Amino acid sequence: MSGRFLHPDRRFAGLPIHLTVSAEQAQRALERGDAARALREIERALHEAPRHPELLRLEALALLQLGRHAHALEVLHEAVERAPDDALITCQFGAALAQNGDMAGAEEAFRRAIAQDPALVDAWYNLAHALDRRGDAHGANQAYERVLALRPGHAAARVQRAEMLKMLGRLDEAEAELRAVLAAEPGSVSAWVGLSNLKTFRPDDAELERLLALQAGGAVPEHRRVDFDFACAALLEARGRYAEAYPLFVRANAGKRRSVRWNAAAVSRLVDEIIERFARLPPAPADARGSDVIFLVGMPRSGSTLVEQILASHPLVQGGGERNEIVQVLQAESQRRGQPFPSWVEDATDEDWRRLGEDYLARGRVWRDSRRRFTDKTLANWQALAAIRRMLPGARVIHCRRDPLETLWSCYKHHFSEAQSFSYDLDELVAFWRDCERAMAAWSRLLPGWIHPFVHEELLREPEASVRSLVGALGLPFDPACLAFHETARVVQTSSASQVRQPLRRDLAVASHYGALLDPLRRRMAASTAGAEP
């Protein structure tokens, strides 16, 4: 929700004056963030008017602020029944559905609220967010446009629209939206973060000084400090001020690490167990099942978005983006068996693996189009490649590789929107990289010829030869559109969305510019590879 509440006139119709006063006091408490006080006021009023929809709405908002989402949803459901034509209640019912994970129901509620009141800004804003969540960047952009037509000063909508425009490849428009926010609010952390995420933005001297003054002035809210430090460091790097960028990256990562949970040793043990269990299994039967799937795996920041853009430029390939279906399928099977993955893999039959593969393919049919092949760019699927081979023996795998120092440094200086909790500490980052490397080496031994390595630096040196090798490894005919990948119009939802809209650039490697500042990372990488398997 936008955080704004409509004026109570007419919403308290039918209430005696003393209950109206209680409701207004509750609403003011909600606006202050004092949900406990608001709930006490509303519960007293509900004793006298237990079915009044506006009191139910306010009760639900208090419950949502207190984190009692399931109860709030029940209360809003009753409020909708009492006032089925009330757009605000319908909209907030949708927000509660979204918070409980029912995005389809939420979207339907937001559309119903818009039909009831086309000028309700919150309904359009929440619809845009719901459409973004399900990957409809075009629809989300249109909804944000409607928000801004109704309320031009809605800064959050302008920032979010810029993100949609970036996904759609409309980079100049995205930058213009973010600059408009800064013109009205020079200290907007969200706008500065958005500009840094464009990757193509280079602040001029005056802009950079404004940014550094904001960074040093103590005006950045503490809960946005990590976001802002990452953005400020990235923009310093963009201007070649590496010595100033480095300590900010270190501080940003330290701040982020305090807010995430990660156990590097447990992950390494899990990878050991996965390799050991699958190494004991006999070879999987040959089968063409899954021949329409192309899995892209490897470390984040390894050039995988570019690889997918190249493939999605081929007329026979749909870019599927980052999916979670493999994890969902394996988790569902683990729940069915009452054992965690990979404890049960030695008990699984060929028919079990076939069933799991069919489950994966069925989950993908809801978003696939008519093209013959599609990509799944869930990079962490490297952990499950041996399971994928049994589920979908006809699938192809591309291992996206880039210079290790560039890859790890790029991970460390990137503020990921979700997951990747390993990347905010150098020791944990290097441990995860080594886990990935040794797992991929193990799968290459167990499954010879199945995994095709694609090296980013080779693409830069010999683009056509590298692309021809890539599509040939997938059994596809070469198509010149793959070399003009930057001209392909499609939604790209990763942080590299702006970079894949440009021709190949050889000036994006930056680790060497940091010189000795990266020696701590170099030492950790060297120590981790000492004695490792070739």
The three state secondary structure string of 123-156 is HHHHHHHHHHHCCCHHHHHHHHHHHHHHCCCCHH
Contact predicate 196/222, CB 8 Å:
no
**Rounded to an integer, what distance in angstroms lies between the CA atom of residue 85 and that of residue 105?**
17
**Rounded to an integer, what distance in angstroms lies between the CA atom of residue 401 and that of residue 412?**
17
**Rounded to an integer, what distance in angstroms lies between the CA atom of residue 409 and that of residue 382?**
20
What's the start-to-end Cα distance of the chain, in Å? 53
Cis peptide before 342 (omega within 30 of 0): yes
**Rounded to an integer, what distance in angstroms lies between the CA atom of residue 121 and that of residue 151?**
7
Domains plus CATH for the chain?
A: 264-530 (3.40.50.300)
User: Whole-model pTM above 0.75?
Assistant: yes
Residue with tokens 């000028």: 119
Beta bridge partners of 294: 375, 396
Contact predicate 141/467, CB 8 Å:
no
DSSP 8-state secondary structure symbol assigned to residue 494 = S
Q: Output the DSSP codes for 199-245.
A: SS----HHHHHHHHHHHHTT-S-GGGHHHHHHHHHHHHHHTT-HHHH
Tell me what pLDDT residue 72 has: 92
Question: 420's torsion region: left (phi>0), alpha (psi -120 to 50) or beta?
Answer: left
> For the purposes of burial, counting CB atoms within 10 Å of the CB of 279, is it exposed (0-12), middle (13-18) or buried (19 or more)?
exposed
Tell me the one-letter amino acid at 522: R
Under DSSP, is residue 338 helix (H, G, I), strand (E, B) or coil? coil
Q: Which two tokens stand for residue 97?
A: 């559905």
Tell me the one-letter amino acid at 471: V
Beta strand 293-298 with 317-318 is unpaired
Which residues touch 287 (CB under 8 Å, ≥6 apart)?
A: 354, 393, 394
* Range list of H helices, 33-86: 35-48, 53-65, 69-82
Nearest C-alpha neighbor of 134 from the set 165, 175, 164, 158: 164
Q: For every one of its 534 residues, what pLDDT tens digit does the chain have, with 9 covering 90 and above?
A: 333 344 445 788 888 898 988 888 988 999 999 999 999 988 988 988 988 998 999 999 999 999 998 999 999 999 999 999 999 999 999 999 998 889 999 999 999 999 999 999 999 999 999 999 888 999 999 999 999 999 999 999 999 999 999 988 888 999 999 999 999 999 899 999 999 988 888 899 999 999 999 988 888 999 999 999 999 999 999 999 999 999 999 999 999 999 999 999 999 999 999 999 999 999 988 899 999 999 999 999 999 999 999 999 999 999 998 888 999 999 999 999 999 999 999 999 999 999 999 999 999 888 888 899 999 999 999 999 999 999 999 999 999 999 999 999 999 999 997 779 999 999 999 999 999 999 999 999 999 999 999 999 999 999 999 999 999 999 999 999 999 988 776 565 555 555 655 767 776 789 999 999 999 999 999 999 875 543
Nearest C-alpha neighbor of 371 from the set 483, 476, 487, 454: 476
Nearest C-alpha neighbor of 2 from the set 135, 199, 158, 177: 158
Residue with tokens 């021949």: 291
**Rounded to an integer, what distance in angstroms lies between the CA atom of residue 67 and that of residue 75?**
14
CA neighbours closer than 13 Å in the CB half-sphere of residue 259? 14
Tell me the one-letter amino acid at 242: Y
